[in-house]
């Protein structure tokens, strides 16, 4: 018997429908420092992986507490060659994209 994944509800529709004047204005530089350069990953999490599948348009996110499991997942996704990956640890952020999806990629085998 397979277990059903736990559902984590979100309220993106409510935020999306909220008028902009309900939110405080934030200068771009401050936003970048706060959200992009100031991410925090709990100590129990080794890696967060976000996969954007270019064939379906779907986005999946994975959370790993063991490094070898995260590396195995990244390898599996990259071997499929249809997804862009963003991987985040407590100290680094990596953006990986299959070479054939890059505009200026020149395939040496073609």
What pLDDT, in 10s, does the model give residues 8-59?
Answer: 778 888 888 999 888 888 888 888 887 776 677 888 999 999 999 988 999 9
Mean predicted confidence (pLDDT) in 68-86: 92
Inter-residue long-range contacts of 46-51, CB under 8 Å, 24+ positions, other chains counted: 46/70, 46/89, 47/87, 47/88, 47/89, 48/87, 48/88, 48/89, 49/73, 49/74, 49/77, 49/85, 49/86, 49/87, 49/88, 50/85, 50/86, 50/87, 50/88, 51/77, 51/83, 51/84, 51/85
Domain coordinates in residue numbering, the chain: 41-110
Neighbours of 83 (CB within 10 A): 21
């Amino acid at each position: 018997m397979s277990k059903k994944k736990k559902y984590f509800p979100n309220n993106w529709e409510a935020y999306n429908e909220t008028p902009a004047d309900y939110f405080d204005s934030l200068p771009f530089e401050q936003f970048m420092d706060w959200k992009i350069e100031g991410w925090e990953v709990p100590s129990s999490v080794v890696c967060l992986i976000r996969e954007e599948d270019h064939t379906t348009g779907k986005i999946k996110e994975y959370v790993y507490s063991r490094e070898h499991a995260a590396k195995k997942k990244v390898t599996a996704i990259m071997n499929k060659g249809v997804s862009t990956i963003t991987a985040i640890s407590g100290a680094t952020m990596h953006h990986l994209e299959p070479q054939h999806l890059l505009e200026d990629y020149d395939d040496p085998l073609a």
